[in-house]
Structures are given as structure tokens and as C-alpha cells.
Amino acid sequence: MFSDVSEKQITGAILDEFTESLRDCLETDVVIVGGGPSGLVAGKVLAEGGRKVLVIEANNYLGGGFWIGGFLMNTITVRDPGQRMLDDIGVPYREKEPGLYVTSGPHACSKLVAAACDAGVRILNMAKVDDVVLREGNRVGGVVVNWTPVSALPRAITCVDPIALESTVVIDATGHDAVVARCLERRGLMKIEGYGAMWVSQSEDAVVEKTGEIHPGLIATGMAVSTVYGIPRMGPTFGAMLLSGEKAGRIALEATAPVKEAVTV
Ligand code: 48F
């Protein structure tokens, strides 16, 4: 027999838990917008480093494009040295060509989602970031967010105001759309090049190299980096997404390091 729990108790449990966890995220060290491979790796690095980090994901599921390799085929490819991150999350892979590794999208993606959650990343899914909070000197100080289904509503119904969450740093991990960077572009605060044509051998190194702060308080990772800087796209190979996420996480770790207290002798 299942335990004797009523409908109102179940509803109350959901309401209490959800409200408490959202309240706990009103102010975080880092908000990561987008739960694809780059955002999840960044989140894992930050949570392992002891930061309070929230991933906001528009879909109900995390993982972005990492479930599927390309052309709806669920084999993921990773070029050397990206396989290091597969080792890190414990995913088996095979060397298909010298320096080119293959793994299962569902296996790699579910392991990465679990690794981020195990590390302590907080998750707000079915929520879409549609603007940023700006502070003195136009420094990004948080995000403006609404339920994903709200953004699909016809405007005729009514205006549903969003809410805002504050953070020391925001990471744009929204992939090709570079949604957060576009919020700044709309205000004339940034120029966005749009990602270039496909050229794998150029793209992956460039994405990792350019991963970093693109505006005070805003770091870009993954395909958002390509979009911001006009770097060639790399198509269905994921090593740069994983290593870019790792680099973004480390940069954000440094940016949110607690100020060391002066030692008095
Ligand atoms: O697209 P996505 O997987 O981005 P990524 O981490 O990796 C790119 C690769 O998957 C692949 C590639 C290279 O191998 O070309 O495409 O750069 O994940 C982006 C995530 O952001 C979410 C979106 O649903 C997806 O899960 N997202 C996009 N816009 C928003 C958002 C938004 N406004 N608010 C919240 N989440």
C-alpha cells in the first residue's frame, strides 16, 4: 500500500519546496542562462568551487543540443582534447579516427545533467530570460525572467510582467541565439557579429580562446561566443562547448571569489 497522503498535502509539498528553492535563488553568485553543454559544464565547475549557481533553462529538459549529434543522429563527436571532459563525467567513448572520438548523445547528456545536479547546481526550467538587470556603468547585475509558456501567449490576453533575479555574474550560454548578449545589443551596448560559416578546424580553438567577459558582469560561453565574435560554426562536434564551459566556469569562479579578509597579526 502507498502511504496515506492527500491531494492537498501533495500540492502543499510542491508549493513549499518550489517557493523555498526559488527564494533561495533571488540572489546568487552566478546565473547561467541556458542549460546546454557549455552552460552545464560551467555550472558544474562553479558549484564544485562552492559558488551558488542557478541555471535557467527555457525548455523542460536540460542538455540543449547535446542529446543529438547532428542531422537528428544521436552520436556525439568530440575532437581531441575535448574527450577529457567525457572522462571527467565518466562517459565511455571510442576513437573513430585519430583525434576524433564518438559517444552516445543520450548517455553523455544525461551524465552531464546528473554531474551538474550532483555538484549542486540549482535549476529553474521552463523559464525564459528575456532581459537583463543593469547597474551603474551598465554592469549586468541579474536577469529578467518569465515562464516559457507566457512568452508563447498571444499579446492580446494581457501583459504578464516578468520577475528579476540578481547575481554577481551572468553567463550567456544560450547557444547560437546569444540571447543575453542580444539584450545589450538592443540597447546599443554591444555589437554582435553573428556566427560565421562552418569551418571546424578554425572554430573550436577560437571559441575556447574567446570565451570570457564580453561586457561588465556578462561572460559568454559555447556557441554564444561564436555568435558574438563572428567565429565560424563547428557543426556537430562538441569538444569546444565542453572546454568553453569549463573556461567560463573558471573565469566566473575568479570573478566571484570571496574577498580575502585582511589578516591582523
Ligand atoms: O544550443 P545549446 O546546446 O548551446 P551550447 O551550450 O552548445 C551548442 C551545441 O549544442 C551545438 C553546436 C556545437 O556543437 O553547434 O548546437 O552553446 O543550448 C542552449 C540552451 O539555452 C536555452 C536553450 O533551450 C538550450 O537548452 N535557451 C535559449 N534561450 C534561452 C534559453 C532563454 N532566453 N532563456 C533560457 N534558456
- Going by C-alpha positions, the residue among 264, 255, 259 that lies closest to residue 46 is 255
Q: Look at residues 116, 103, 1, 134 and name the one whose alpha carbon lies nearest to residue 51.
A: 116
Looking at residue 152, what is its pLDDT?
A: 75
Q: Which atom of ligand 1 is nearest to the CA of 224?
A: 17
Distance CA 76, CA 236 (A): 7
Q: How much of the chain is helix, strand and coil, in % rounded to 5?
A: 40, 25, 35
Domain ranges of the chain: 25-165+200-223
Cβ of 29 closer than 6 Å to ligand 1, yes or no, is: no
CA-proximal residue: ligand 1, atom 10 (nearest): 65
Q: What's the 22 CA to ligand 1 centre distance in angstroms?
A: 22
pLDDT at 145: 97
Question: Ligand 1 pocket, 174 CB below 6 A?
Answer: yes
Report how far ligand 1's centroid is from the alpha carbon of 108 (Å).
16
CA of 59 to the centre of ligand 1 (A): 10
Could you report the per-residue pLDDT of 14-67, keeping only the tens digit for each?
Answer: 999 999 999 999 999 999 999 999 999 999 999 999 999 999 999 999 999 999
Grid cell 597579526 in the structure block, residue: 265
Residues of the chain with pLDDT below 50 are none
Res 134: pLDDT: 98
| Ligand 1 midpoint to CA 176 (Å) | 7
Which ligand 1 atom is nearest residue 245's CA?
6
Question: Hey, what CATH topology would domain 25-165+200-223 get?
Answer: FAD/NAD(P)-binding domain (3.50.50)
Beta-strand relationship, 53-57 and 122-125? parallel
pLDDT score for 157 = 66
CB 241: neighbour CB atoms within 10 A?
31
